[in-house]
Amino acid sequence: MSFSTITPAELKKRHAEDPSLEVIDVRMPNEFGEVHLTFAQNVPLDRLNPHDLLSNRNGHAGKPLYVVCRSGKRSEMACKQLVAAGYRDIVNVEGGTQACIEAGLPVIRGQKAMSLERQVRIVAGLLIVTGVALGYLVHPGLFALAGAVGAGLMFAGITDSCMMGTLLAKMPWNQAACSGPSCST
């Protein structure tokens, strides 16, 4: 069993026909707060609980569930989780929120937020510079900090999962209120 995909233009048409269609946005709350579809609920990927989502689909049971993120990668991961949990009629929105904006779908804009990817680059760079400075000024063994961060970045690139990103996602500044089912954690 798998999921289907839809273009933002087709989503716009379907929303015009049925304004009650259900869309979940799986980005982090701070990203969602920056810009999101007016009719989307925020259910961050790291908090996605397919069983809770299924039990909270009041009035939407038997209808498609549309999933969107920034560009389509996280929504694809969410679709795979939902299908693995037994969901049927899961639809990934191609190109994500960016493509939806370009297609003219209605959005709500909030304050600009620093992306998680940018936060990871800042912290990784800071740890590397600190490791090199401490290795030079204090003890050569502290160069290992820079090496460990480099190895972590390499591992993140190979596995497409980033432990530093996961930790930063849990920081208070990235935890704005979320608006969808399974957001209580």
**Going by C-beta distance under 8 Å and a sequence separation of 6 or more, which residues neighbour residue 126?**
none
**Going by C-beta distance under 8 Å and a sequence separation of 6 or more, which residues neighbour residue 55?**
none
Tokens of residue 5, six digits: 């995909």
Pairing between β-strand 35-37 and β-strand 107-109 as defined by DSSP bridges:
antiparallel
**Is 100 an active-site residue?**
no
Catalytic site residue from 69, 100, 162, 178: 69
The CA-based dihedral angle spanning residues 122, 126, 129, 131, taken in that order and rounded to the nearest 10 degrees = -140
Residues marked active site are found at: 69
